[in-house]
């Protein structure tokens, strides 16, 4: 790894199929940044266990997500690509950071509040501690930049707070990371409820488009996407969230500015527009589907890549962890 380059860390949970939200909000930035940074791309499997998963399905999704990283254009030779659970330093630093975290700040996280509203008093402790594990992921690698979608901004702010708090208490140790949120595609909304985020763990598969959905499925999902009744294609997040979301997806896929899309579709109906959005998504994702099928035929290659990835990640992570042990006053060791 080059010393002059800055470092990137990011991850996705294997909690469902990778959606076009994940792709436009995160994976595409990773692909575009991989040549200019030392990158760590992690399948954050431990985060996915904060809600109950079926073990067989979880195992399948983990491998598929790793293959999807490669299919999206991430190069396992150039980047360090691995599973979070294969580098135990993540869990351990998470505990050490838990010891400097406050109940108040954790229970104020928007995502925790939303999830605990649904779960009531049986909300899992893992959901509360989730952002601490995310901070551990990032801080282990002296990360400069974290490319994520807009929904992760608050969690990233917490990582920055914990890094600064530790440095303050125990002397300078962690780099304080910066977010990288794309200008376009940072918050793709659900196709069935455009006031909430598109999520891969949604119960209704019509709410999201997976990057692996076949073209006819993609076209159908867009044809059914919730819009409104006035048949005008204009960007207006307040009053027309459905159409606004489709405009943003189209713009993120084609690179065309929103205003010129509005001009091009002036006077046309929603039917034509939805078809065009569907086609833009099919075209953007087709190369990913093709590569995914090829990669999944070579499980030995996938295993080799993630094993080497974990070995490389462990080297850096263990050095940081040893430093943290020392600073916090644990007995000296040469492990
Ligand atoms: P997750 O699906 O929660 O594991 O998220 C993985 C990455 O995708 C994170 O960087 C998220 O911010 C990003 N992401 C998830 N959903 C969306 C969405 N609907 N729009 C844009 N980015 C998203
Ligand atoms: N919490 C992130 C999400 O749900 C996933 C994640 C875990 C992550 N650790 C991370 C993202 C570290 C960036 C960096 O989207």
Q: Which residues pair with 145 in a beta bridge?
A: 8, 178
Q: For the chain, which domains are there?
A: 7-186+298-328 (3.40.50.620), 205-293 (1.10.240.10)
User: What is the per-residue pLDDT across 274-285, written as a single tens digit (0 to 9) for each?
Assistant: 999 999 999 999
CA 68 / ligand 1 centre spacing (Å): 15
Q: Region 265-271: what's the mean pLDDT?
A: 94
* Rounded percentage of the chain residues whose pLDDT exceeds 70: 99
With the most atoms of ligand 1 within 8 angstroms of its CB, the residue from 149, 152, 157, 188 to mutate is 149
* 2 confidence band (pLDDT: 50, 70, 90): low
Is the backbone of residue 20 left (phi > 0), alpha (psi -120 to 50) or beta?
A: alpha
Percent over 90 (pLDDT), the chain:
92
Q: Is 22 in the pocket of ligand 1 (CB under 6 A)?
A: yes
Q: Which of 205, 194, 113 lies closest to 155, judged by CA?
A: 113
Q: For residue 101, what pLDDT band results from cuts at 50, 70 and 90?
A: very high
The catalytic site residues sit at 115, 197, 200
Residue in 207, 209, 109, 218 with CA at minimum distance from that of residue 158: 109
Task: Read off the pLDDT of residues 212-246 as tens digits, 9 standing for 90 and up.
Answer: 999 999 999 999 999 999 899 999 999 999 999 99
| pLDDT score of 1 more than 80 | no
Distance 11 CA to ligand 2 centre (A): 5
**For residue 243, how many C-alpha atoms fall within 13 Å in the half-sphere facing its CB?**
22
């Amino acid at each position: 790894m080059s010393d002059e380059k800055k470092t990137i860390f990011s991850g996705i949970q294997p909690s469902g199929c990778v959606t076009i939200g994940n792709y436009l909000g995160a994976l595409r930035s990773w692909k575009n940044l991989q040549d200019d940074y030392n990158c760590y791309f992690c399948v954050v499997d431990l985060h996915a266990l904060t809600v109950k998963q079926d073990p067989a399905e979880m195992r399948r999704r983990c491998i598929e997500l790793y293959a999807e990283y490669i299919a999206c254009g991430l190069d396992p030779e150039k980047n360090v690509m691995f599973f979070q659970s294969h580098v135990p330093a993540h869990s351990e630093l998470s505990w050490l950071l838990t010891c400097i975290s406050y109940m108040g700040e954790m229970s104020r996280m928007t995502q925790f509040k939303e999830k605990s509203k649904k779960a009531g008093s049986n909300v899992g402790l893992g959901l509360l501690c989730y952002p601490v594990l995310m901070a551990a992921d990032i801080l282990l690698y002296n990360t400069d930049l974290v490319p994520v979608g807009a929904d992760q901004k608050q969690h990233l702010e917490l990582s920055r707070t914990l890094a600064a708090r530790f440095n303050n208490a125990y002397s300078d140790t962690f780099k304080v990371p910066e977010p990288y949120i794309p200008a376009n595609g940072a918050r793709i909304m659900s196709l069935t409820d455009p006031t909430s985020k598109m999520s891969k763990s949604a119960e209704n598969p019509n709410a999201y488009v997976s990057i692996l959905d076949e073209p006819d499925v993609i076209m159908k999902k867009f044809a059914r996407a919730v819009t409104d009744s006035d048949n005008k294609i204009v960007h207006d997040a307040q009053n027309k969230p459905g159409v606004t979301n489709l405009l943003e997806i189209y713009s993120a896929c084609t690179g065309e500015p929103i205003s010129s899309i509005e001009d091009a579709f002036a006077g046309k109906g929603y039917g034509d527009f939805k078809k065009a959005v569907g086609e833009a998504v099919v075209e953007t994702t087709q190369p990913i589907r093709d590569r995914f099928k090829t990669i999944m035929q070579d499980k030995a290659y996938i295993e080799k890549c993630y094993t080497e990835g974990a070995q490389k990640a462990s080297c850096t992570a263990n050095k940081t962890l040893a430093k943290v042990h020392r600073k916090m006053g644990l007995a000296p060791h040469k492990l």
